Amino acid sequence: MIKTFKYGGIHPDDNKISAEAAIETVVPEGVVRIFLSQHIGAPATPVVARGDKVKVGQLIAKAAGFVSANIHSSVSGTVTNIDLEADHLGIKKEAIIIKVEGDEWMDDIDRSDNIPKEIKLSAEEILKKIAASGLVGLGGAAFPSHVKLSVPPGKTAEYLIINAAECEPYLTSDYRIMLEHAEEVMIGIQILKKAIGVSVAYVGVEVNKPAAIAELNSLTSEYKGIEIVPLRKKYPQGGEKQLIKAVTNREVPSGGLPIDAGTVVHNVGTAFSVYEAVMKNKPLIDNVVTVTGKNLSVRKNLLVRVGTPVSRLVEIVGGIPENTGKVIFGGPMMGKAASNPDAPTQKSTSAVLFMSDEESYRKTSCACIRCARCVSVCPMNLEPYLLKRLAERKDFEESEKNSAHDCIECGSCAYTCPANIPLLDYIRLSKTEVLKIKRNRK
């Protein structure tokens, strides 16, 4: 049976125009800039200095606390500086800058093609390994994976849910991982199950990826306790709360976390990196980035070392098309327009999307016509037109009463509004203010 979530949702054209492009490895060259903060939580603390020689996979910055992540060198070469660098939003953050020299890896990383299957580590050892390897969620938020896997006292995990929906238009990196590394993904899921002590995992995949569903299904007899769940193609099917509802019919309470519904959710790309960390001793030094756009001469899924300048990826796809209006890091719905298109990639960079002037043109908005379409598509059952009005009035107490903090910033309301009102811009403002109110109250 094809499953989906209960409220709202939209059906944008999926534009998976890079789906047939097999993953290609980008050979590192020039310089990489690796941010100390590319995860939710405290920035990591450097353990190298200018002039140090480093190898691929070597620890270069240590997690500064539990909610933080280790950073490893993605290249071999010389540390030339530790300095402020602009990210894709133009925000300056500390980064370790390394001049690439050759491609020398740490000796303890298994780079062979063999796929080890026996999981020898205990649950506790797996968590330690995942933390040591600097793994973060690859579905967007970049939350340190070991934190997400640590079930708080008093809570119980019953199911692991793997988010393989990839519902954002244009993105195809998860799809290619499922096609080209299905077995490693299944082993990664078994490792995650062992880490949180559950016997059942569900993998939610949208039905517009039949080849990936078939590939994973062909392995379920060997990898017990994993069920592949076909999901209706509906945005935002990959939202954590929507996925949990679709797969288990459970609701995460307002302000709650997946564990409040007895679930732990991880992205399929994260399952692959868990396999690499635990079975191959490879820290998170690269990830698959979809480089796409209707006007590009070629679109690709590239295995990119963390810290690679986007200009390198642009070269590989034949340069930026003349009529490009926006470069987006991520997908068109939840990604962010880059003000610095030469920024380095980060651990959770899933895509670089080139949109034409025409596609990215923001239409002039007019007055609300009270059609309620924004209400009918909101997957969180909110009233976006009302939240917008409250934000305009700066009435954030009332915004809280109307659950502005539950907005998952999916953009469905703004996408569907016939008056072209940028609803999400207003709701984001409310959400920030409501979260401040809640923090102050605590």
- Is residue 314 a contact point for ligand SF4 (CB under 6 A)? no
Shortest Å, Cβ 148 to ligand SF4: 21
- Report whether the peptide linkage leading into residue 321 is cis, meaning its omega lies within 30 degrees of zero: no
d(CA 227, CA 362): 42
Continuous segment of H or E residues that includes residue 188: helix 182-196
- Is residue 419 a contact point for ligand SF4 (CB under 6 A)? yes
- Is residue 380 a contact point for ligand SF4 (CB under 6 A)? yes
| 8 vs 204 by CB, closer to ligand SF4 | 8
- Pick one of 49, 89, 211, 371: the residue that binds ligand SF4 (CB under 6 A): 371
- Pick one of 135, 338, 378, 390: the residue that binds ligand SF4 (CB under 6 A): 378
Question: Edge-to-edge, what's the strand order for the sheet holding 45-46?
Answer: 45-46, 59-62, 71-72
- Pick one of 219, 408, 422, 435: the residue that binds ligand SF4 (CB under 6 A): 408
| 198 vs 421 by CB, closer to ligand SF4 | 421
- Pick one of 38, 74, 346, 412: the residue that binds ligand SF4 (CB under 6 A): 412
316 exposure class (CB count in 10 Å sphere: 0-12, 13-18, 19+): middle
- How many residues touch ligand SF4 under the rule CB under 6 A: the total is 28
Shortest Å, Cβ 333 to ligand SF4: 9
d(CA 431, CA 399): 8
Which of these segments, 25-33, 61-69, 252-260, 406-414, binds ligand SF4 (CB under 6 A)?
406-414
- Is residue 86 a contact point for ligand SF4 (CB under 6 A)? no
d(CA 240, CA 139): 10
- Is residue 382 a contact point for ligand SF4 (CB under 6 A)? yes
Helices 268-280 and 173-180: angle between axes, nearest 10 degrees: 50
Cα 240 from chain centre: 12
| 21 vs 419 by CB, closer to ligand SF4 | 419
114 exposure class (CB count in 10 Å sphere: 0-12, 13-18, 19+): exposed
Summarize as ranges the residues that interact with ligand SF4 (CB under 6 A). Answer: 368-374, 377-380, 382, 384-385, 407-413, 417-419, 421, 423-424, 427
